[in-house]
Structure 1
């Protein structure tokens, strides 16, 4: 069905907002393959989907701070969707995947290749919770990596096989609605720096600079590795295009995780 020119529905706007969260602002164009794919699913043009995403940017506080020109004609529905999900990322990720699966005539499990993982879990609350968790983790990874243009924020490494969407405040300690899948609680790190960050051997300060623990500085290692680690001490991370790390999470990592 061709919906070009028709009023956007709540479901369509949720899908546009979900994609907006996973797309760097400068890549919101009609040639973006993800925008083209969503346009086909919705029966709209890529230009229409891109325009809707730009309208949603009108309600993004970070875009406003940067004085980037999101469209100034966001609708009441756009505002409602942004306000509804801005503090409930888990709900956004699950609803978006359920809508997509329905439109594609499939299930969330199949769409995200989770059938084998969930096959042995009987239907019920535990299975639903497991699915919700996996969908949230997928959303978190995609959103965080795209915010950092798929580059390690410390080294600039771009190989996706070595990149991890790291939680600043650990998943196990985070509120499931407001923190676990919150992209402001994430950093894109290579596997080694992810492990060091997870163990508190490095952290960030509130100026977004890497701080190396004295424990790591005094650890036995070859000189090349030492120079490699210390080269980033007090260097500012590569900043994300959106979802700047929340200072509340940084302070938690400083106080509760970092090994001074």
Structure 2
């Protein structure tokens, strides 16, 4: 028996919010495969899940700034969940995986996608390792989907070759509020990910690309140089949600960037 018509509980709302964070606003629809899968898990219709995600979008400050239309009203529970996890992304992703595992009768690690994630420091307990892995997976999926699975510099649209790159490095980021915060990420191809990570390029306050003088002097063939330099002062492709945080860009400018 379906549960449509019943009030949404805390666990269901957490799952809807976690999926909202990983779904471009324009793709919240009944035909979305992940929405259909969550609806089946909850015993609700895809339309009901999509409506809940729109309700949660009502509280998204980035959508409010851009005047993107969402539902006029979210519930008190929607607001409470948004407030609780808006600065605890690792907690959100971890809780969502625990809830899914419980609903499916599986250990949490059995429903995770652990491929292509960075190695974590040794010495973590089993639970800490699982939580960190979940957070990394959430960060990658949220960042790539926010940029519609395309490199924000070149427009390359091939997810297998994209990296969810931290603006403020993972090792220097606050564990709760920054490491898995999608606003601390850019979708980049591997080359620009490495160049950005090493401080040879950065972004200015207008999201335009700034190239360090140190790499301008590096020997390279004319075609590569023209291609690389053609992106200077160009604005990156902007994400559907989770705009790059100005505080993260400022950190990268001040601490990582090698200078114009």
* TM-score of Structure 1 vs Structure 2, range by shorter chain: over 0.9
Instruction: State the partner residue of 1:153.
Output: 152
Instruction: State the partner residue of 2:255.
Output: 256
Aligned 8 A contact 2:113 2:137 in 1: no
Aligned mates of 2:225, 2:216 — CA distance in 1? 8
Aligned mates of 2:83, 2:250 — CA distance in 1? 25
Instruction: State the partner residue of 1:120.
Output: none
Equivalent runs, 1:38-77 vs 2, <5 Å: 38-77=38-77
Matched, 1:243 2:213: no
Which is worse superposed, 154-163 or 75-84? 154-163
Instruction: State the partner residue of 1:211.
Output: 210
Instruction: State the partner residue of 1:105.
Output: 105
Instruction: State the partner residue of 1:33.
Output: 33
Q: How many residues align?
A: 253
Deviation (angstroms), 1:159: 1.1
What are the Cα deviations for residues 210-243 of structure 1, in whole angstroms up to 9, with x where unaligned?
1111111110111111111101001000000100
Query: SS at the partner of 2:125?
Result: helix
Aligned mates of 2:124, 2:147 — CA distance in 1? 35
TM-score if structure 2 supplies the norm length? 0.95
In structure 1, stretches of 5+ residues that fail to align are 118-123
Deviation (angstroms), 1:125: 6.0
Matched, 1:132 2:128: no
| Structure 1 consecutive aligned stretches of length 4 or more whose deviation exceeds 4 Å | none
Deviation (angstroms), 1:68: 1.4
Which is worse superposed, 99-108 or 11-20? 99-108
Aligned mates of 2:211, 2:125 — CA distance in 1? 40
What are the Cα deviations for residues 180-205 of structure 1, in whole angstroms up to 9, with x where unaligned?
00000000000000000000011000
In structure 2, stretches of 5+ residues that fail to align are 118-122
Instruction: State the partner residue of 2:193.
Output: 194
Deviation (angstroms), 1:155: 0.3
CA 1:213 to 1:32, structure 2 compared with 1: closer, same or farther past 3 Å?
A: same
Deviation (angstroms), 1:114: 5.1
TM-score if structure 1 supplies the norm length? 0.95
Aligned mates of 2:192, 2:78 — CA distance in 1? 38
Query: SS at the partner of 2:233?
Result: coil
CA 1:45 to 1:193, structure 2 compared with 1: closer, same or farther past 3 Å?
A: same
Aligned 8 A contact 2:162 2:189 in 1: yes
Instruction: State the partner residue of 2:226.
Output: 227
Matched, 1:81 2:84: no
What are the Cα deviations for residues 91-128 of structure 1, in whole angstroms up to 9, with x where unaligned?
0010011111111221221111559x9xxxxxx96121
Matched, 1:6 2:10: no
CA RMSD of aligned residues (A): 1.5
